[in-house]
Amino acid sequence: MAAQRLKDPRAGRWLKLASHWAGEYLAHEAGGDTLNLYDVSALAHADLIRAARADRRVDVTALKNDLRAQLEIGVQRAAKDPFGAGAQYDNFDAVPHAFGLAATARLYERATGDRRYDAFGAGQLNWTFGANPWGVSFMIGVGETAKRCPHHQIANIKGVPLTGAVVNGPNSEDLFTDGLGDNLDNMAPCPADGVDRFGQFTGRGSRYVDDVRSWQASEPADDFAAIAVYALTR
């Protein structure tokens, strides 16, 4: 896209190469996941579709179809879930997956003009901000029931608010069988009374804990936040 803007004569060759590698992804890797920390194909698809508008010789039909296929993975899960979750919340990275589905819905609409997934994408944002079994917003500082005890040593010791940080969220119940562990050196207990207020909502193989000791559910990460920013930015 940069080469196109700069009228670099290599733009056509680079576009052809990008199309080739997109085809390799579609042939060998597509179908197993949705936009998250490890599979960013939806972002690449969207950029290639944009770049191909300047060269009609590049067929982007398969890219649009794969964006839709990724969304359908989430739609099918959501149809079976009482809270409409498109992500697997009994597995790692449920929250970034939910933000990723919301972002993909927007990418698909921009690429095709088809708005059929708009409501689904909005539903995934709702899920991350509190319309979930725990009633919790997984973005710190956003919402009345936002995450309060992130697994972050410096923030805990210094009393630094991590406003805007995104945590992993619910995870497999099995990961909690050995407990939450101890507070690291000099860390203040959070919650102060050590009570798990969300234990009663454990189910469907998933558990969520708002506790500074809980790396399983309470750890914030920059790549989580990056997907959230993308999902919330037009």
Domain CATH for 192: 1.50.10.10
Reduce the DSSP state of residue 145 to 3 states and report it: coil
Q: Does 191 sit behind a cis peptide bond, omega within 30 degrees of 0 on the bond before it?
A: yes
Q: What pLDDT score does 56 carry?
A: 81
CA 75 from chain centre, in angstroms, equals 15
Alpha helices by DSSP H, listed for 31-92, are 41-52, 61-79
Could you tell me if 157 and 191 are in contact, meaning their C-beta atoms sit under 8 angstroms apart? Answer: no
Q: What pLDDT score does 185 carry?
A: 82
Q: pTM for this structure?
A: 0.95
Print pLDDT tens along the chain (234 aa). 999 999 999 999 999 999 999 999 999 999 889 999 999 999 999 999 999 998 888 899 999 999 999 999 999 999 999 999 999 999 999 999 999 999 999 999 999 999 999 999 999 999 999 999 999 999 999 998 888 999 999 999 999 999 999 999 999 999 999 988 888 788 999 999 999 999 999 999 999 999 999 999 999 999 999 999 999 987
- Residues of the domain holding 125: 2-232
Of 229, 234, 19, residue with least CA distance to 110? 234
Q: What pLDDT score does 6 carry?
A: 97
CA distances from 184 to 116, 153, 181, 196 (A): 47, 7, 9, 19
Cα–Cα dist 99/128, whole Å: 7
| Total number of domains in the chain | 1
Q: What pLDDT score does 60 carry?
A: 96
Of 118, 114, 26, residue with least CA distance to 66? 26
Cα–Cα dist 174/60, whole Å: 42
